[in-house]
Structure 1
Amino acid sequence: MNKESGSDHTPPEISIVSTMYRSRPFLDRFLAESLQALSDIKCDHFEILLVNDGSPDESLAYVLERQADIPQLVVVDLSRNFGHHQAVQAGLRHARGNLIFLIDCDLEVSPLVLGEFYAKLRETKSDVVFGYQEMRKGGQFEQMSGGLFWKGFNLLSDVKIPENILTERIMTRRCVEALLQMGDRNLFLGGMMSWTGFQQIGLPIVKKQRKGRSTYTLLRRIGLMINAVSSFSAQPLIWLFNIGVIITLLSFSFAFYLVLRKLLFDDTLMGFTSVMTMMMLSLGIMTTAIGVVGIYLGKVFNQVQNRPNYIVRDIYR
């Protein structure tokens, strides 16, 4: 059942926005610390908006129960699991606050950091204060793979993003409205938020190790990397073109060299091994090139389909 209350049309001062997917173990503490953080900055007019991204556990049932003692709690229930970035977009679209504080509810970053973000925003009069890690958390593999992600993205993309940025950030209403105007169907919010511009200031945050297993597997991280780069840059296509030109020039030069040696020295042309090596090299490059072009065509296909990024089943206010 869709429950909307329209008695108070005054926008909240702050909306805390988060998404839920297998989040039930974190919600008790997340809500308690969110309320504490709002009390610390003396914010009485607020909302806490949670987006249920098709969570298979009891997250939705729990937060609906908590609306009895937290009337400012808003729940946006999506029709299925659409993905983290799509759920975040849904949360930003339905948040009504003059300021929007975006945070993951897994407690790797405590909601109590809201005070630091709020003070930094007021002090700098900026539109966005985003969190970033000075030192990545986790083991050596997680630190290395995360660092390579951001370096690889900035190398390949036309949009440059500060390394090791976090989901956590506080944004003004005009910045959120600008973000929502973008018609991207292939979402990478980190790049989109940087692309919008405005005055953005970083705030170093220490991120804790998540309790329980993360839903971001290695394959999902690789998929995110491919989606991020292909959504914000045509550089891979340009690189493929340049590689193709270089290989073509080298092939013509090598062919000219072989013919010249045959004419001048009557040498035997290179045999089966060299031919097969060149064929395998060419086949590998062509297959890779077709794959990269296919990724971009898939992006175009998704964009022209113009399907919504998510479908809302119910909104509970």
Structure 2
Amino acid sequence: MFLSVVVPCMNEQDAIPALVARLEVVIAPYKERAEIILVDDGSTDATWDAIVAAQSRVPQLRGLRMSSNRGHQVALTAGLEAARGGRIFMLDADLQDPPELLADMMAMMDRGYDVVYGSRREREGETWFKRASASAFYRLLNLMSDVEIPRDTGDFRLVSRRALDAVLAMPEKARFVRGMFAWVGYRQIGIEYTRAARTVGETKYPLRKMIRLAMDAMTGFSTRPLRLATRLSFVSLGVAALMMIYVLHSMLAYQTVPGWASVIVAISAFSGVQLLTLGILGEYIGRLYLEAKNRPLYFISEDTETPVPVQLKTRA
């Protein structure tokens, strides 16, 4: 197998026909040496039925149905583990990232690169808040991370087998795939493109999930938040020392304390710093707890390559 195309899907029943049609054209030059893997991440609509219908007419297509919704990054991991190709192409089912860019990515990989990622030059159809929050996310991530992660990128990329094997060797449960590929190194390069507006369905990354992904990214690739908590505690101690000096000076000068407002402000500020520090520590402790349990990352309930539904346990 030369090429594997991996696409995680969540409630994308309307997008599947167009997705498969465009992928058929993209993989046509490789004929039987290519495969398409669509991973249904516990959809609640007819996404799986659409995948099965597409597989009946496209022999290179394989469908995997997860036993429950595990999130985009885990669904992507499931598809990557099932991929058999020497080169692996990743994209989302919404077609905002053009699969036709594969030819250019292939050309770059022929020049010796192991990872060719799409870099978003423009983001059509997105609100100013979405663009601003995405920009802030990547800049804050690189500020806090020990690994340089390319800005304005997603999981849209073509990777070599050795780069993928390196990522799959990483056992963590809270996965941030684009960061994991940045961490493994090898030769990497970006290709700029214009990200199209979504034409069907709705985004699967509301603000809540974006914040969760950002937390996974920052705590998974850096201990700087812990060092930030330590610095904040020193700042708090410094401010407290200055306030003690002010209080002592007031007592010696027989000056009455101006009022309760300063006390309330000080208590609120210190309480906020303490809670922030506890929150940062909690994020890391929570990750340790998840890793220590060592539960399987996901289960596959159905595979179109098998005649009957199966229960496959993986990543124990």
TM-score (norm 2): 0.91
Is residue 38–residue 44 contact of structure 1 (8 Å, CA) maintained in 2?
no
Correspondence for 1:156:
144
Q: Is 1:262 paired with 2:248?
A: no
Correspondence for 1:246:
235
Distance of 1:107 and 1:136 partners within structure 2: 13
Question: In structure 2, which of residues 261, 266, 269 is the aligned counterpart of residue 278 of structure 1?
Answer: 266
Correspondence for 1:126:
113
Identity of aligned residues (%): 29
Is residue 19–residue 87 contact of structure 1 (8 Å, CA) maintained in 2?
yes
Correspondence for 1:24:
13
Distance of 1:68 and 1:249 partners within structure 2: 69
Deviation at 1:178, TM superposition (A): 0.5
Question: In structure 1, which of residues 151, 164, 181 is the aligned counterpart of residue 169 of structure 2?
Answer: 181
Amino acid at match of 2:260: F
- CA deviations over 1:13-44 (Å, ceiling 9, x no partner): 101110111111111111111111122x4444
Is residue 9–residue 41 contact of structure 2 (8 Å, CA) maintained in 1?
yes
- CA deviations over 1:44-92 (Å, ceiling 9, x no partner): 4111111111111212122223323211111111111110000000000
SS in 2 for 1:210: coil
Q: Is 1:287 paired with 2:275?
A: yes
Correspondence for 2:309:
none
Amino acid at match of 1:134: R
Correspondence for 2:295:
307
Deviation at 1:284, TM superposition (A): 1.8
Amino acid at match of 1:184: E
Amino acid at match of 1:51: V
Correspondence for 1:72:
60
Amino acid at match of 2:236: I
Is residue 37–residue 63 contact of structure 2 (8 Å, CA) maintained in 1?
yes
- CA deviations over 1:207-250 (Å, ceiling 9, x no partner): 10012321211121122112211222221221111111122122
Gaps of 5+ in 2: 306-316
Question: In structure 1, which of residues 59, 62, 65 is the aligned counterpart of residue 50 of structure 2?
Answer: 62
More displaced 10-residue stretch of structure 1: 43-52 or 197-206: 43-52
Distance of 2:276 and 2:86 partners within structure 1: 47
Q: Is 1:53 paired with 2:24?
A: no
Gaps of 5+ in 1: 1-11
Distance of 1:229 and 1:239 partners within structure 2: 12
Is residue 18–residue 91 contact of structure 1 (8 Å, CA) maintained in 2?
yes
RMSD over equivalenced CA pairs, Å: 1.5
Q: Is 1:107 paired with 2:95?
A: yes
Is residue 13–residue 43 contact of structure 1 (8 Å, CA) maintained in 2?
no
Is residue 136–residue 164 contact of structure 1 (8 Å, CA) maintained in 2?
no
- CA deviations over 1:126-163 (Å, ceiling 9, x no partner): 11111111233322111111101101111111111111
Is residue 33–residue 110 contact of structure 1 (8 Å, CA) maintained in 2?
no
Distance of 1:65 and 1:266 partners within structure 2: 85
Is residue 17–residue 48 contact of structure 1 (8 Å, CA) maintained in 2?
yes
Distance of 1:300 and 1:222 partners within structure 2: 20
Amino acid at match of 1:166: G
Q: Does 1 or 2 have the higher relative contact order (CA < 8 Å, sep 6+)?
A: 1
Deviation at 1:201, TM superposition (A): 0.8
Distance of 2:263 and 2:45 partners within structure 1: 58
Q: Is 1:198 paired with 2:186?
A: yes
Amino acid at match of 1:246: V
